[in-house]
Amino acid sequence: MWLLNSSIGRKLIMSISGLFLILFLLFHLCMNIAAVFSGEAYNMVCELLGTNWYALLGTLVLAAGVVIHFVYATILTLQNRKARGNDRYATSARPKGVEWASQNMFVLGVIVILGLILHLSHFWAEMMFAELAGIHGDIAPTDGATFINFYFQGNIVNTVLYLIWFTALWFHLTHGFWSAIQTLGWNNNIWLSRWECISKWVATIICGLFAIITIIFYVNGVGA
């Protein structure tokens, strides 16, 4: 099947999964914005999601998207390195017109995955997984606002780690978004540069707001 076996097919799958993950980031961003203004509103969303069938289904689909995106990125990276052979050691200079992010997408992706694992250990493990497993801690699994305050308010280490995560995510998105559009064929000579500009705006809005919200959580915690 060409979609799985060909290089173009793998790039197509990686592009679609990447765009899907961007949509999830926007959804998650909206939740975080709610937490800035009202911890009660944020907890209402947490209770609405909880361990309902649609929340569990969404979690499985999201997990599949992350795994597929990372696996295919790994396969394509290994293929590219094998194709270049010894040529990749010939020079360390970046070719003209090639962005730094485009040459380091895999490394950036690894940092993003590590940040995701940290985030899951802080929230998913303590909330949805704890509720499914019947684990009863000092904080209720649906009390996301308290978890935010616990992990961020006055906690400089977690705050810095998350800011590093968002920085890597910004570089990853600035190249990944327009590259996905290009793979899907939604571009031409005029729109290519426009999509590059749009991707930078999308990445800056998403990662910039996540970073600002994280700093707000560090200083003030969730909204009253």
Handedness of CA 117, 119, 124, 126 (dihedral sign): positive
pLDDT digits (tens, 9 = 90+) for 126-173: 999 998 888 888 999 999 999 999 999 999 999 999 999 999 999 999
- The token pair that represents 95 in the structure block: 């070719």
- Rounded to whole angstroms, the Cα distance separating 36 from 209 reads 11
Residue 80 vs residues 73, 101, 142: alpha-carbon distances, Å: 11, 16, 44
Q: Give ∠ CA 205-208-209 in degrees, rounded to 5.
A: 80
Instruction: Supply the pTM of this predicted model.
Output: 0.86
pLDDT at 156: 97
184-189 long-range Cβ contacts below 8 angstroms, 24+ apart: 184/12, 184/15, 184/16
Question: Phi/psi at 186 (nearest 5 deg)?
Answer: -90, 50
Nearest to 18 by CA among 185, 163, 175, 162: 175
8 A C-beta contact, residue 146 and residue 186: no
Q: Which two tokens stand for residue 199?
A: 């991707």
pLDDT of 84 reads 65
Place of tokens 């780690």: 161
pLDDT at 18: 86
pLDDT given at position 145 = 96
User: Which positions of the chain have pLDDT values less than 70?
Assistant: 1-5, 84-99, 187-188
Give residue-wise pLDDT tens across range 85-99: 655 444 344 444 446
φ/ψ (deg, to 5) at 154: 75, 5
Q: Tell me, what's the pLDDT at 143?
A: 94
